[in-house]
Amino acid sequence: MLVKLQDPPGPRHCFCQLPMRVLRHWARKRYLEQVPTLELLALAKRPIQQEAVRIVALLDVPNEELVRLLGPLGQPGCRVLECRDAVRRWLAAMLATPS
């Protein structure tokens, strides 16, 4: 008997709809500690943590794909590319700072 695997759930929020402290925590684990996304999903126990991991995973997707995935989720005035760029700027600054 074949078992159909379900696709992992996609994000339900834009970058700007989650607390920055939560995004920073998971971005730090992904990019500084280099923990793979699937391991992060296993570590994330609460729904907001799981959502943050899904959002952090979108930092590197092409613009068109990001707009397709998150565009319908944005609130009025939300611009998903600008929201992602804000997180990218924070991440670049964090990575440039010596530990």
> How do residues 52-67 score in pLDDT, each as one tens digit?
999 999 898 999 988 8
Tell me if 10 is assigned to some domain.
no
Residue tagged 């992602």 (tokens):
84
Q: Do 60 and 46 meet the contact criterion of CB atoms below 8 Å apart?
A: no
Tell me if 7 is assigned to some domain.
no
Note the pLDDT of residue 78: 77
Q: Which residues of the chain have pLDDT under 50?
A: 3-6
Q: Which domain holds residue 66?
A: 16-96
Tell me if 26 is assigned to some domain.
yes
Number of domains in the chain: 1
Tell me if 5 is assigned to some domain.
no
Angle subtended by helix axes 63-70 and 80-96, to nearest 10: 120
Note the pLDDT of residue 8: 55
- What whole-number distance in Å separates Cα of residue 70 and Cα of residue 79? 9
Q: Average pLDDT of the chain? A: 83
Q: pTM score > 0.85 for this model?
A: no
